Amino acid sequence: MYWLPLAMQAGVEFSPDTRYFPDLEEGKLFIRLNFAIHNPEEIDEVIRRLGKVLMEENNN
């Protein structure tokens, strides 16, 4: 997943979701975010950062 290094530069890490699908090709369409240890404000910030990365990449 080519977004992962870009997201990590913004302080966000996620798991490419292929390992959670029996059909690996289908899993390439998804990412997995962990919210278990974060408070709502941190989650909002992570989503904001990830959204910014994805929008910037989409505009390039």
pLDDT tens-place string over residues 20-48: 777 777 777 777 887 888 899 999 999 99
pLDDT exceeds 90 at position 19:
no
Note the pLDDT of residue 44.
Answer: 94
Note the pLDDT of residue 26.
Answer: 75
Non-local CB neighbours of 31 within 8 Å, separated by 6+ positions = 1, 3, 14, 15, 16, 17
Higher pLDDT, 7 or 32: 7
Round to whole Å and give the CA distance between 23 and 17: 11
